[in-house]
A and B are shown apart, each in its own frame.
Chain A
């Protein structure tokens, strides 16, 4: 916290949400109300703002910048899934990666406001040139030199990957992400029905499972912090508390204080009910929700939500919400070198499927193995295994009580050498003869 805290005597930053989806607006509004009262206030109009926030992934971002051109002294903070892509379009903008780092945002806003206020810049230079317009004369095509404009850019624009590993406020994945990415959350077409677990393509992978480097095959201590997430800082932690209270009291419990409700009921069947739409749940699950953001309350019934909401089995709901929080990380306290097993397959016709999830599960229901081992045996990055682990943990599908007999199995199966070039047995078999199984699989993956 101290790294990002606002300096004493610094004024409250008036923030205008110039170009931001409705879900982002709500979450930022909540953060202002509950955590940033002394550092940020929301301005109701552009003219009274000292800084604005712009989501570059939403269509119409050029028009948003147009509105800014008469106001060179207003600071601008942009954010996007792939800041690098946008930094070419808008070379002089501060572009943060999604998900936004909530802890850091107030001070970034304050700095942008401060820097712009000091800068007396020509509006035409401050405006980012849309791609269709000719470049300013000072820039040669292909020139290495960035255009020199009198704007103070932050010392280190935050790269997407770094910010993505930090606590977050909001993010939405773009199923067919590209330069014309759909806006997050608020757009009805943002999330096609199939995107809750199927057809996950490589372009989305870093958003789904981060970009963590693999750990070594042999235990290292201490483990790097960045491989872990603290569930208490995410929706999954609140859900777990609601679940625990529902099971200890026998009564349904609600998570209150969010823009919509989520209820957990364990009898007669264990279900979660919510009036969040499916395409809102993912960004909400990825968002950092400090403990005080929401409260768990007892309810006599969930019928007021279930009438117009969606009902999930708790297992499926927890699987998804945990996967979206984890993004390729492990819950804090997990030993990635400890052998475990999955006690069952998750319900893959309904739950979110991260890359390689099927093969990870197929292996893990039959073998005691640590997350590190599973990745080594399948020859895949560990973050995909961490994602499955995190989901399975919260869905109650991890079996950590290894029977004695299984120790031998796990030992013999664990490679004693670093496994960089040791293909898993299954894969070696695969390479020897072209497989009908592979071809059927390809057909199903392409056609579904």
Chain B
């Protein structure tokens, strides 16, 4: 494992189109998030007008002046070549899964596999969004899927509303404690 000093201070947000990456980053960021939205020329444009097809980022300003970048990955598969480059040196992954998608458990599996190397050298925390409108699958179904995939340690997985800063911050806190349960917080 690389030393923390050598890492860029950045946290990666990934997940399918419409899962809430841009919203989550906006909720947490201390600056208005910058979005480099490309014009969505394909089906996603119809799916959701403001969806992230390029990448967006926000910033957490730490009291000592240091900055932590919050990067959203492009949601579309055809941009997945950027994921490795983006996540290079990152602190960890916040993965958002849209429960309203047709097969969110398959989305989960796909993203965990795409970020396999990154996760194994860092950590992941998973937020299931849109559970207010789509109740199934439930957390227990997700946990069963994670168990089937044999992830160790068992990742944090919460019901999340990407519009809630508390929810998004909870994901990041879980990510940090997964990296180091002994973290000093006071």
Which of B47-55, B78-86, B163-171 makes up part of the contact surface? B163-171
- Inside 8 A of A349's CB, which chain B residues have their CB? 158-160, 164, 166-167, 170-171
Of A347, A362, A427, which is within 8 A of B159 by CB?
Answer: A347
A145 to B3, CA, bound (A): 62
Convert B150-186 into 0s and 1s, putting 1 for each residue whose CB lies closer than 8 angstroms to a CB of A. Answer: 0011111111100011110111111011111111111
B3, B135, B177, B178: most-surrounded residue (chain A CB, <10 A): B177
Interface string of A16-53 (1 = CB under 8 A from B): 00000000000000000000000000000000000000
| A7 CB-CB contact with B under 8 Å | no
Q: Is A441 interfacial (CB-CB < 8 Å)?
A: yes
The reply to whether A427 and B182 contact each other, CB–CB distance below 8 Å, is yes
Q: A343 to nearest B CB, angstroms? A: 7
Chain A neighbourhood of B170, CB < 8 A: 198, 348-349, 448
Known: A194-B166, A348-B156, A441-B176. A269 touches B138 (CB 8 A): yes
Give the size category of A's interface with B: 35 or more
Interface of A is mostly: helix
Q: Do B68 and A345 touch across chains, with their CB atoms under 8 A apart?
A: no
Q: Are B138 and A436 in contact (CB under 8 A)?
A: no
Contacts of A365 in B (CB 8 A): 153-154
A347 touches B138 (CB 8 A): no
* Residues in A neighbouring B153, C-beta threshold 8 A: 362, 365-366
User: Which residues from 61 to 113 on chain B have a C-beta closer than 8 Å to any C-beta of chain A?
Assistant: 61-64, 66, 68, 91
Chain A contacts of B154 at CB under 8 A? Answer: 342-345, 365-366
Q: Are A440 and B60 within 8 A (Cβ)?
A: yes
Contact A348 B174 (CB under 8 A): yes
Chain B residues with CB below 8 A from A378, complex form: 181-182
- B5 near A437 with CB under 8 A, answer no
List B residues at the A interface (Cβ < 8 Å): 3-5, 7, 9, 60-64, 66, 68, 91, 135-136, 138-140, 143, 152-160, 164-167, 169-174, 176-186
A residues apposed to B, CB below 8 Å: 194, 198, 269, 313, 315, 342-345, 347-350, 358-363, 365-366, 378-379, 423-427, 429-430, 433, 435-445, 447-448
Nearest 8 pairs of A and B residues by beta carbon: A426-B182, A366-B153, A362-B177, A427-B182, A363-B181, A362-B181, A365-B154, A345-B156
User: What are 27 inter-chain pairs, A to B, with CB distance below 8 A?
Assistant: A344-B157, A347-B158, A347-B159, A348-B156, A349-B167, A349-B170, A358-B174, A359-B177, A359-B181, A362-B156, A362-B177, A362-B181, A424-B181, A430-B184, A433-B3, A436-B4, A437-B183, A438-B185, A439-B62, A440-B62, A440-B68, A440-B172, A441-B177, A442-B185, A444-B169, A444-B173, A448-B166
